[in-house]
Amino acid sequence: MPSPRCHSQNGSTQHVADLAGHAGPVYKVAFSTPKNGSYLASASFDGSIIVWENRNNDSVTWQQATQAYNQNGAAVNSVAWAPYADSKMVAGACADGSIMIAELSGGAWQVSAIPNAHDIGAMDVTWAPQVGMDQTRRLATCGCDGAVKVWMFDTSSGTWVQEGGNLVGHADWVRSCDWAPAAGLSSSATVVSAGQDGKVVVWRMVGREWVSSTVCELGKAVWCARWNSNGSMIAVTDEAQTVSLWKQVGNAWMNVG
């Protein structure tokens, strides 16, 4: 149960609550977008995603809305909320290679999965932004098989299907993937991936094919790569405790900080 502390006062940041519910280390947390309500999801070694709801919208009163478990008890390495205004969906990348999806439907949380999405294990998951009136649900995943994969929800079959082949540009585990926001980008889909091999790669949909460009090769394991809010810059973290910022200038990527 949450253990309230104190509010933010005089512009300072204060500890407001403890959310205790997992039986193992918590690997990642993610807030939903405001248009989806006030939710927080947490992914854990205990094989579950907990969805927490802030029903009073006061930043303090968090209650557990649901706890979804991986069917094999595998750890959930990452968690991400879908950005779509007409649904509440959260996806988790699991150590057994599956992608777990929890969706609030008809007043109850329903759990489904993309089984065997990645050999050995799935490391990260990211949702495509909603562009215009397009209602297509898409997400990208990455894993220990060295691949990035793109999935689309097929409304006719009610299942997730892989779009195209594997996006192969890494020689080791792909630890992170992030779909660029729609703001400031062309209509082409764009995903960045980061790997144990030290490479950061940007994938862009050109026509019906994904085309890759290498942002950097750091010579050390890269743990995470994330776009900024308008898709103009990528932040990269690596095993040497370094954060670097990369921006595309012409056809090249430049380290800008």
pLDDT tens digit sequence for 224-234: 999 999 899 99
Q: For 101-128, what is each residue's pLDDT tens digit?
A: 999 998 999 999 999 999 999 999 999 9
pLDDT at 249 exceeding the cut of 60: yes
Q: Compute the mean pLDDT over every residue in the chain, rounded to the nearest whole number.
A: 91
Last residue within a domain, chosen from 91, 116, 141 = 116
Query: Can you give the residue range of the structural domain that contains 95?
Result: 18-116
pTM, to two decimals: 0.90
Check whether residue 245 and residue 133 sit in a common domain.
Answer: yes
In a domain, 89, yes or no: yes
In a domain, 3, yes or no: no
In a domain, 11, yes or no: no
- What is the pLDDT, as a whole number, of residue 10? 58
pLDDT at 86 exceeding the cut of 90: no
Mean pLDDT of 91-95: 98
Check whether residue 112 and residue 23 sit in a common domain.
Answer: yes
pLDDT at 135 exceeding the cut of 90: no
Check whether residue 70 and residue 131 sit in a common domain.
Answer: no
Model confidence at 164, in pLDDT bands (50, 70, 90)? confident
In a domain, 55, yes or no: yes
Check whether residue 78 and residue 187 sit in a common domain.
Answer: no
- What is the pLDDT, as a whole number, of residue 191? 96
Check whether residue 150 and residue 218 sit in a common domain.
Answer: yes
Structural domains counted in the chain: 2
Model confidence at 221, in pLDDT bands (50, 70, 90)? very high
d(CA 214, CA 178): 15
Spatial CA neighbour of 221 closest among 239, 202, 237, 236:
239
d(CA 243, CA 236): 5
- What is the pLDDT, as a whole number, of residue 7? 45
